[in-house]
């Protein structure tokens, strides 16, 4: 009999599919409870309020558990759920420290790594980002100039902090940690902002990869991952969002959990990372580096992109049938996170996720845009 594994988060479909490929029987607690997640999980619950999570978890069968975003922002909930079942992932204590931007910035800087300037107010002139303390996926991030500080909250007690804006390419690096060590699984290019549909400027839309890294970039990312794993006692999968430019790699945020871009590596490498995640958390085992970091220039690239609603949308029978018709292969579908019949999608909320692959970044992005256009036309414009 397959071992059960409970996965809790805002959207757990990708992690649940990974768990099933790894030989587990996934259970789920999810905000959206999309139609395809119901096919993956034998037992599930849907939440409307994060405070419901501990009780919902108690209603499900005994199993170890892991979390996805945005639960990293709620260490107290992590601790409460963990009172009843074993956690596979970062502990509440680790989350408290790594999700504090001042602690993270200081730790990285003391390790000799370059990091953007940080402040609880705008300390010097220049370009800055105002970032919520409790956020995920780029929601609520604003671009500011220092002269705007009088029009914005400037205190950490107000639920936000300020980070220097660094120009360059946005990448997401994926790591696996155990026993104070980490290995780099790979990196993806992060897709974000207005150019990808209805998303806000810094809102996460998707990922394309695995991208090629120079030896210098790979070394810098590996050093960042090692610093985090050693100083915050991480276990299992985690991600680092970074900006890459001519000056090197600038880490801007740590995601101490299974991240959205993990799915890209799984498709490209034909692996089930949840198996590695569980081995790292339970036994302190890390996979072989050669397995995780392919250097083949001919490696096919994969991409995913979230289509956000441009207006309030009701998923009627016609739309639902049209979405289901595009969900061809259950193992690696071209469309996922399919809303249930009768779902009400608010403007700005995700409708579904599309996938594409190609030989180059440009080709993969173009195919993603085409898939996004088709989905938007089906849901928004057809009457």
What CATH number did the domain enclosing 321 receive? 3.90.1170
- Residue 257 has a pLDDT of 96
Please indicate, yes or no, if residue 93 is contained in any of the structural domains: no
- Do 215 and 265 fall into the same domain? yes
Range(s) of the domain holding residue 140:
117-164
- Tens of pLDDT along the chain (383 residues) come to 799 999 999 999 999 999 999 999 999 999 998 999 998 998 999 999 999 999 999 999 999 999 999 999 999 999 999 999 999 999 999 999 999 999 999 999 999 999 999 887 665 666 888 888 877 777 778 887 655 544 444 444 468 888 899 999 999 999 999 999 999 999 999 998 877 877 777 889 999 999 999 999 999 999 999 999 999 999 999 999 999 999 999 999 999 999 999 999 999 988 889 999 999 999 999 988 555 554 444 478 999 999 998 889 999 999 988 888 776 656 678 899 999 999 999 988 899 999 999 999 999 999 999 999 999 888 865 44
CATH number at residue 211: 3.30.470.20
Can you tell me the distance from the alpha carbon of 115 to that of 122, in angstroms, rounded to the nearest whole number?
16
Please report whether residue 283 resides in a domain: yes
Flag whether 175 is in a domain.
Answer: yes
Give 314-322 contacts, CB < 8 A, sequence gap 24+: 314/342, 314/343, 314/344, 314/345, 315/339, 315/340, 315/341, 315/342, 315/343, 315/344, 315/345, 315/379, 316/341, 316/342, 317/341, 318/382, 319/378, 319/379, 319/382, 320/35, 322/378, 322/379, 322/382
Which of 95, 76, 75, 78 shows the shortest CA–CA distance to 8? 78
| Closest to 126 (Cα-Cα) out of 105, 157, 101, 148 | 148
Question: What are the tokens at 297?
Answer: 């220039």
In sequence order, the 6+-apart residues with CB closer than 8 A to the CB of 346 are 309, 312
Asked, for residue 383, whether it belongs to a domain, the answer is yes
SS3 244: strand
130 and 259 both lie in a single domain = no
User: Crossing angle for the helix pair 262-269 and 13-21, nearest 10 degrees?
Assistant: 30
* Cβ pair 22, 10 in contact under 8 A: no
Beta-carbon count within 10 A of 258 CB: 28
Quick check: is 45 in a domain?
yes
Name the residue with tokens 């079942």: 85
Q: Look up the CATH number of the domain holding residue 10.
A: 3.40.50.20
Q: Indicate the residue among 238, 269, 299 that finishes a domain.
A: 299
pLDDT at residue 156, rounded to an integer: 44
> Phi-psi region for residue 82, left (φ > 0), alpha (ψ -120 to 50) or beta?
alpha
- Strands (E) located in 112-257: 118-119, 127-132, 142-145, 160-164, 169-178, 181-192, 204-209, 236-245, 248-255
Pair (344, 233) in one structural domain: no
Residues 287 and 317 in one domain: no
CA dihedral (340, 366, 240, 330) positive or negative: positive
DSSP state of 157: G
Angle at 38 between CA 70 and CA 354, to 5 degrees: 65
Q: How far apart are CA 322 and CA 332, in angstroms?
A: 18
Calpha distance 305→207 (Å, rounded):
7
Same domain, residue pair 292 and 311 = no
Phi, psi of 5 (to 5 degrees): -145, 120
Q: Which 3 state secondary structure label does DSSP give 366?
A: helix
| C-beta separation of 235 from 262 below 8 A | no
In a domain, 267, yes or no: yes
Largest distance between two CA atoms of the chain: 62
Report the relative pairing of strands 169-178 and 236-245 from DSSP bridges. antiparallel
pLDDT at position 93 is: 94
Residue 222 · residue 162 · CB < 8 Å: no
In a domain, 92, yes or no: no
Integer-rounded Cα Rg, in Å, for the chain is: 20
Q: Residue 125's Cα: distance from chain center in Å?
A: 32
- pTM metric for this prediction: 0.91
The CA–CA distances, whole Å, from 33 to 162, 210, 225, 269, 346 equal 34, 28, 32, 27, 16
Residue 43 β-bridge partners: 27
Do 212 and 250 fall into the same domain? yes
The total number of structural domains in the chain stands at 4
d(CA 102, CA 161): 9
């Amino acid at each position: 009999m397959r071992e059960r594994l409970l996965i809790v988060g805002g959207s757990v479909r990708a992690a649940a599919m990974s768990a099933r490929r790894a030989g587990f029987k996934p259970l789920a607690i999810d905000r959206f409870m999309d139609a395809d997640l119901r096919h993956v999980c034998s037992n599930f619950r849907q939440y409307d309020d994060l405070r419901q999570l501990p009780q919902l978890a108690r209603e499900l069968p005994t199993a170890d558990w892991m979390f996805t975003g945005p639960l990293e922002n709620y260490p107290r909930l992590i601790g409460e759920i963990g009172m009843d079942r074993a956690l596979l992932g970062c502990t509440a204590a680790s989350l408290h420290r790594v999700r504090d931007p001042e602690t993270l910035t200081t730790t990285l800087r003391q390790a000799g790594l370059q990091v953007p300037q940080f402040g609880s107010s705008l300390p010097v002139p220049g370009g800055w980002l105002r970032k919520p303390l409790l956020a995920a996926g780029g929601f609520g991030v604003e671009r500011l100039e220092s002269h705007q500080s009088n029009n914005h909250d400037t205190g950490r007690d107000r639920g936000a902090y300020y980070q220097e804006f660094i120009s360059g390419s946005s990448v997401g690096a994926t790591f696996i940690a155990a026993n104070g060590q980490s290995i780099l699984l790979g990196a993806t290019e992060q897709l974000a902002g207005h150019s990808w549909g209805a998303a806000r400027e810094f809102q996460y839309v998707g990922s394309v990869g695995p991208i090629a890294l120079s030896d210098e970039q790979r070394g810098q990312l590996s050093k960042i991952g090692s610093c985090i794993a050693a100083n915050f006692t991480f276990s299992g999968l985690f991600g680092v969002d970074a900006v890459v430019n001519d000056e090197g790699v600038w880490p801007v945020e740590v995601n101490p959990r299974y991240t959205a871009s993990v799915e890209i590596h799984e498709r490209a490498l034909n692996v089930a990372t949840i198996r590695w995640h569980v081995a790292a958390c339970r036994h302190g085992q890390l996979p072989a580096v050669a397995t995780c970091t392919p250097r083949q220039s001919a490696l096919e690239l994969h991409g995913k992109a979230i289509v956000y609603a441009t207006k309030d949308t009701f998923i009627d029978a016609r739309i639902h049938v049209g979405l289901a018709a595009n969900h061809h292969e259950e193992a690696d579908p071209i469309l996922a996170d399919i809303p249930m019949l009768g779902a009400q999608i608010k403007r700005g909320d995700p409708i579904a996720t599309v996938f594409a692959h190609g030989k180059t970044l440009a080709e993969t992005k173009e195919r993603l845009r085409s898939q996004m256009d088709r989905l938007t036309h089906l849901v928004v414009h057809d009457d």
